[in-house]
């Protein structure tokens, strides 16, 4: 965790009436001040973005090679055609050429349609062995003397700002959150990004060996399986960036075979770079499906307009307390699968007619999205980070309606390698499965009856572990009948 040295001050509330012996800013007070706010993690909010309980601060510690934007905000009821604000900059403890400060003329501008402006600070290198490095910015002069520099008060009026510069923290990097369905054609290309939490140059990263890969042949797939040759390369860029694009190219035809490739992000050989977050991108080619599908069964399982929409389930598990198998209830956020408008499986609203996913799209106050509980995986594999990719599945199941019967069909659990973050380790559990779906008139709800097959070799388990679950479109009461099947105990990492 980075150390943030921040002193916060309370915002004064603007009033529309003037009161005697009240020094709060009122409509008659005209002023301009620094207005940097931080999120709950101590990271700067990009103006005008705000957060609950966020306070303006008058200092900040910069320990990343990243762009720091300091907003200044004008509060006035006057008609402002052109207002100039001059400021001074004092730098101590490091060379001036190691920083880029904008605007370079030390002047900001405001008018009737622009009530904010920004001072930008960009470190031009990574810093080591610093001691007491500091940037002081002071508002000096404004072209309208009726406008006060800072809040009209004596203490902490935000007419100045201090930036403490500390030794640069290691760069954290990860894949963007994306998977690909491929056609398997020669020269087929895909692009995606490696994301960095700081600015990097291409020269810094071009020699790193970021990638390794593995083909996964899932036991549920009865169709012929094929590996294929591919190339992967970083796309050069100029200047500094928080990301680098990667080009993935298939160099040979895969044919009418299924294939499943995990491209993994490695920890590079540098103490200045730390891999965290999403570490794998999946490339999947489905075999030729000689079936004709009609309808839109996926729409029965989601509500695209409700971010909190969930499906509900029962998981068959071994209760170690009672020493017997039992059903346990669970629930998971459920989302449609986006497709290109007008494509084969588009339902007319940009969603796949035959696929759904189990994932949350709700960010917490820090901007992070906590995983949900697809297939009861949060309990079947307990103790992993809530940000593990296994708990956010974009494409989870696929429906194959029965051509001769209504409201029933086959379900395919889309094969994938479940990835769990456990401390600093990545645990892989390949999973696939199948089942059926139908409309349960007793519950007045849609129902899936699924069997998952998990390869638990990496956690010293069986390569063919079965897990039985039911999924319902509504929160139904009661449990299914007990099964004459073995049940899996919950595994704790």
Three-state SS annotation for 129-195: CCCCEEEEEEEEEECCCCCEECCCCCCCCCCEEEEEECCCCCEEEEECCCCEECCCCCCCEEEEEEE
Q: Are 380 and 420 part of one and the same domain?
A: yes
Q: Are 429 and 420 in contact (CB under 8 A)?
A: yes
Q: In Å, what is the CA distance from 19 to each residue of 32, 77, 103, 453? A: 22, 18, 39, 72
**Which of 253, 288, 323 lies at the terminal end of a domain, its last residue?**
288
* Residue 326 within any structural domain of the chain: yes
Residue 244: CATH number of its domain: 2.60.40
CATH number at residue 128: 2.60.40.2030
311 with 442, same domain?
A: yes
The pLDDT assigned to 374 comes to 98
Q: Are residues 153 and 244 in the same domain?
A: no
Residue range of the domain that includes 223: 170-288
Question: Residue 61: inside a domain, yes or no?
Answer: yes
Q: Assess if residue 87 is contained within a domain.
A: yes
C-alpha to C-alpha distance for 167 and 74, rounded to whole angstroms: 33
Residues 418 and 474 in one domain: yes
Q: Say how far apart CA 235 and CA 245 lie, in whole Å.
A: 5
Contacts of 207 (CB under 8 A, 6+ apart): none
Residues 194, 341, single domain; the answer is no
Residue in the structure block whose two tokens are 């006057």: 78
Q: 180 and 151, same structural domain?
A: no
Q: How many domains does the chain have?
A: 3
pLDDT digits (tens, 9 = 90+) for 222-266: 677 889 999 999 999 999 999 999 999 999 998 888 899 999 999
Are residues 278 and 363 part of one domain? Answer: no
The pLDDT score that the predictor gives to residue 289 is: 64
Residue 422 lies in a domain: yes
User: pLDDT tens-digit profile of 333-342?
Assistant: 999 999 999 9
Same domain, 282 and 385: no
- Of 288, 304, 333, the last residue of a domain is 288
pTM of the complete model: 0.77
Check if the beta carbon of residue 330 is closer than 8 Å to that of residue 313. yes
pLDDT at 290: 67
In this structure, how many other beta carbons lie within 10 angstroms of the beta carbon of residue 52?
7
Residue 22 resides in a domain: no
Has residue 12 been placed in a domain?
no
Categorise residue 185: left if φ over 0, alpha if ψ from -120 to 50, beta otherwise: beta
Whole-angstrom distance, CA of residue 437 vs CA of residue 392: 22
pLDDT at 93: 93
Task: Look up residue 189 and give its two tokens.
Answer: 């290309």
Q: Which residues touch 25 (CB under 8 Å, ≥6 apart)?
A: 12, 14, 15, 31, 75, 151, 152
Note if the bond before 103 is cis, omega within 30 degrees: yes
Which 3 state secondary structure label does DSSP give 457? helix
User: Is there a single domain that holds both residue 244 and residue 115?
Assistant: no
312 lies in a domain? yes
Does residue 239 sit in the same domain as residue 331?
A: no
Q: Record the tokens describing residue 419, joined without a space.
A: 């990835």
Residues 342 and 456 in one domain: yes
Is-contact 240 199, C-beta < 8 A? Answer: yes
In angstroms, the CA 411 to CA 404 distance is 16
pLDDT at 425: 87
Quote the pLDDT of residue 18.
36
5 lies in some domain: no
Three-state secondary-structure class, residue 332 = strand
281 and 304 fall within a common domain? no
Spell out, as residue ranges, where the chain has pLDDT lower than 70.
1-28, 51-52, 222, 288-290
Single residue among 99, 132, 165 that ends a domain in this structure:
165
């Amino acid at each position: 965790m980075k150390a943030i040295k921040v002193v916060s001050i309370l915002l004064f509330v603007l009033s529309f009436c003037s009161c005697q012996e009240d020094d709060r800013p009122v409509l008659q007070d005209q002023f301009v001040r620094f207005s940097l706010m931080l999120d709950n993690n101590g990271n700067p909010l990009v103006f005008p973005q705000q957060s609950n309980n966020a306070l303006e601060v008058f200092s900040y510690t910069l320990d990343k090679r990243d762009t720091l934007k300091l907003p200044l905000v004008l509060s006035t009821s006057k008609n402002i055609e052109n207002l100039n604000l001059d400021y001074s900059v004092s730098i101590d403890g490091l060379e001036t050429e190691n920083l880029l400060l904008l605007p370079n003329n030390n002047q900001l501008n405001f008018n009737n349609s622009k009530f904010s402006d920004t001072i930008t600070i960009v470190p031009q290198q990574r810093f080591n062995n610093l001691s007491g490095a500091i940037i002081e910015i002071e508002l000096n002069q404004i072209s309208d003397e009726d406008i006060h520099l800072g809040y009209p008060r004596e203490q902490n009026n935000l007419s100045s700002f201090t930036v403490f510069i500390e030794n640069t923290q290691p760069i954290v990097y990860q894949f963007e959150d994306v998977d690909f369905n491929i056609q398997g054609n020669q020269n087929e290309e895909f692009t995606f990004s490696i994301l960095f939490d700081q600015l990097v140059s291409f020269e810094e990263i071009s020699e790193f060996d970021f990638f390794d890969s593995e083909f996964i042949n899932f036991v549920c797939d009865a169709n012929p399986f094929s590996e294929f040759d591919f190339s992967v390369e970083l796309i050069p860029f100029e200047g500094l960036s928080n990301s680098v694009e990667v080009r993935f190219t298939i160099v040979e035809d895969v044919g009418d075979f299924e294939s499943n490739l995990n491209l993994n992000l490695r920890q590079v050989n540098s103490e200045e770079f730390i891999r965290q977050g999403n570490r794998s991108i999946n490339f999947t080619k489905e075999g030729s499906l000689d079936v004709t599908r009609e309808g839109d069964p996926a729409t029965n399982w989601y509500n695209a307009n409700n971010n909190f929409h969930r499906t509900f389930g029962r998981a068959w598990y071994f209760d170690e307390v009672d020493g017997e198998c039992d059903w346990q209830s669970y629930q998971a956020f459920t989302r449609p699968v986006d497709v290109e408008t007008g494509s084969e499986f588009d339902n007319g609203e940009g969603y796949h007619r035959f696929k759904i996913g189990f994932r949350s799209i709700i960010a917490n106050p820090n901007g992070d999205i906590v995983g949900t509980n697809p297939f009861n995986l949060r309990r079947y594999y307990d103790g992993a980070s809530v940000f593990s990719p296994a708990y956010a599945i974009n494409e989870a199941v696929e429906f194959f309606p029965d051509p001769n019967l209504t409201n029933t069909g086959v379900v395919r659990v889309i094969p994938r390698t479940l990835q769990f973050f456990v401390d600093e380790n990545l645990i892989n559990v390949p999973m696939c499965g199948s089942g059926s779906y139908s409309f349960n008139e007793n519950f007045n709800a849609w129902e899936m009856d699924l069997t998952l097959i998990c390869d638990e070799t990496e956690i010293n388990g069986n390569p063919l572990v079965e897990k039985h679950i039911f999924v319902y479109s509504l929160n139904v009461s009661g449990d299914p009948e007990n099964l004459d099947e073995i049940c899996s105990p919950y595994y704790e990492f």
